[in-house]
Each structure stands twice: as C-alpha cells, then as structure tokens.
Amino acid sequence: MSVQACAEIVQKGDVDRFRSTMAAPVAAREVLFPIHAFCLEVAKAPWVTKEAMIAEMRLQFWRDVLQEKIDGKAPRAHEVAGSLAAVLDDAAAEALDAAVTARQWDIYRDPHADEAALHSYLHRSYAIPLHVAARRLGAPEEASKALNRLGFAGALARYLMAIPGLEAQGRVPLVDGRPEAVAALAKDAYDQGRWGAQQLSKLPKTARAPMIDAVMLLPVLKQAAQDPQAVIEGRLEQGALRKSLRLALASQSPSWAFF
C-alpha cells in the first residue's frame, strides 16, 4: 500500500503515462501515481471478465473505496486504495466516482448514443481525473476551462489509438466513423488541446504535472486529422526519438510540445 506499488502498476500497465509521471517533480508523483493506478484498475475492470455482473462488481469495489474515503473510514488493505485515500479529499473522491461509472460503457456492446454521450464518456474517464490531480497539486479553479479542453484532447487521442482493439472486441466506438468525420473530430480536439496547453503553461511546474500526458498526445490528434485512415488501421504512433524530446520539453512547458 505504497506509492511505489502504484508506480509499478502504472509502469506495467501504461508505460507512456509512467514516463510522463516520472518527468514530473517528485512531489507531484506522490499524487499522480495513486490516481493513475486507480484509473488503470478501473479501466481494466470491464475487460478481465466476460460476465457483465462480475465486471459491475469490480467497478462497485472502486465506488465503495471512494465512498469509504468520504465517510472517513480506514482504507481497504489494497495496494492502491490506501495510497489513493491519502492523496484525495472528499471533493476529489466524489468527483472520481464519475470516472468509475463512465467505465460501465466498456462492459456492454451498445454504441454511444450520440456525440454528446461520447464526449461525456471521454470527459468522465480522463478529464475528471486530470482535474482532480491538477487541483490537488495547486491548479486554481479558473484553470477549469483549459483543463476541460486539454482533457478532451488527451482522452480522444487515447481513445482513437484504442479503436482497432475496441472493434476487435465487437464494439462500435465512434458515432460517425467516416474518415472525414474522424478527421474533423481530431482537428477540433487538437485545436482545443493546444489552446488549453497554452493557457496552462502559465501554471507552476508542479500544478502542470498532471497535464504532461495529454500534451504528449497532441501530435496523435494532428496525425489523425491529417490521416484518419490511420485510426482504423492502427497506425497512430509517435517516433521514439521525437517522443523522448517532446517529453523533455513538455515537462518544462506544455506550450513547447507541438512540433
């Protein structure tokens, strides 16, 4: 039940997010790793079983963990729950409940009802944890608009990279999968994310730390906007060298990472 255990979960489950977190100040990592580990545990819950009821129970476990934090109860003897409880306040625990319920969509095969439903899923599953981490690290309330826009960009980039896998599982991930619609969606998210990153670059380095992952993903959206077929064919990627250089720059200022 340590931050180190959370870091190991992130390193194993999401190496890009691990590297982004390691590029953050040490104090920020103490907050980020438990939140990222929580998000990973919640994200994988619908996929470790084909039984919908069991998947729902796994998600309910995390809702209970958050509620116990709100109720002032001692955290469960779980490698993530204790560290998570230590970095959250009641408002953060309440907010993260939406990130858990968002993952119910992953349990079933129903498509998103419309674009608003897709946006809500992306906001709750990615942007809300980003908000929580940023606030716990000192981001002011007036940063919310920029966080929403950057959060949407980061969420959509990750989602677009996951589309081949989702389709292989029989899911219908996009409301409109036409290449021109995908390109427009990616272009809009890229523009929103770039604006958000520019606004947030004015924050102190520690407060900016949760945003590094989303900033790193902006080139993925640019690629999807220019070559939407790459989304379906699973060709969205960043070269290792450019990714490393971009990470070094993004850890200093998000507005420097758009090349």
Q: Decide: pTM greater than 0.85.
A: yes
Instruction: Evaluate if residue 254 carries a pLDDT over 80.
Output: no
- Which of 34-38, 47-51, 236-240 is predicted least confidently? 236-240
What is the percent of the chain where pLDDT is above 70?
A: 97
Nearest to 128 by CA among 204, 42, 44: 42
Using CA atoms, how far apart are residues 217 and 3, in angstroms rounded to an integer?
Answer: 25
> Residue 128 has what pLDDT?
98
Q: What is the pLDDT of residues 120-148, one digit of tens each?
A: 999 999 999 999 999 999 999 999 999 99
Using CA atoms, how far apart are residues 133 and 229, in angstroms rounded to an integer?
Answer: 34
CB distance 258 to 218 below 8 Å: yes
Instruction: Evaluate if residue 258 carries a pLDDT over 70.
Output: no
> Residue 1 has what pLDDT?
55
Q: What is the pLDDT of residues 53-80, one digit of tens each?
A: 999 999 999 999 999 999 999 999 899 9
Using CA atoms, how far apart are residues 188 and 64, in angstroms rounded to an integer?
Answer: 36
